[in-house]
């Protein structure tokens, strides 16, 4: 069974740029959730995708957007990057009767 993978591992961008982060869900899972974890904080829910449709969104502005593909992998896009977007971005997959979300290793984004 393949676990959740994320790419890239690290990324450095400058203010105003755009970034795309990628996540491959665990085999058999059809739901992907994205979280932002600022330094010293707990993860904050960004949004969730279920069968290619957005299925809930947290308190994040519209410049945070996402996609889910037919193979259930997912992308997180952030436009007009701000310094406060610097964080660890975590993707989690879930599905079936298991109530658990399984997390990937994260992408560390630094905005300069």
Check residue 48 for interaction with other proteins (CB under 8 A): yes
Check residue 56 for interaction with other proteins (CB under 8 A): yes
Check residue 36 for interaction with other proteins (CB under 8 A): no
Q: How far is the CB of 44 from other proteins (least distance, A)?
A: 8
Q: Is residue 36 within 8 Å of residue 103, measured between CB atoms? A: no
**Over the Cα atoms of the chain, what is R_g?**
13
Q: What share of the chain is helix, strand, coil (3-state, %, to 5)?
A: 5, 55, 40
**Which one of residues 35, 66, 76, 78 is an interface residue with other proteins (CB under 8 A)?**
35
Indicate the helix (H) or strand (E) that contains 98.
strand 98-103
Residues at the site binding other proteins, with contacts judged by CB under 8 A: 4, 6, 31, 33, 35, 40-45, 48, 50, 55-56, 58, 90, 92, 94, 99-106, 108
């Amino acid at each position: 069974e393949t676990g959740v993978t994320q790419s890239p591992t690290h990324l450095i961008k400058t203010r105003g740029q755009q970034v795309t982060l990628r996540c491959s869900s665990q085999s058999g899972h059809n739901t992907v959730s994205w979280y932002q974890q600022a330094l010293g904080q707990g993860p904050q829910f960004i949004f969730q995708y279920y069968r290619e449709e957005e299925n809930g969104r947290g308190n994040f502005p519209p410049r945070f957007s996402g996609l889910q593909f037919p193979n259930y992998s997912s992308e997180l896009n952030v436009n007009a990057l701000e310094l406060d977007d610097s964080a660890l971005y975590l993707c989690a997959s879930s599905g079936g009767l298991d109530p658990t979300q399984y997390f990937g290793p994260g992408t560390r984004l630094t905005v300069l």
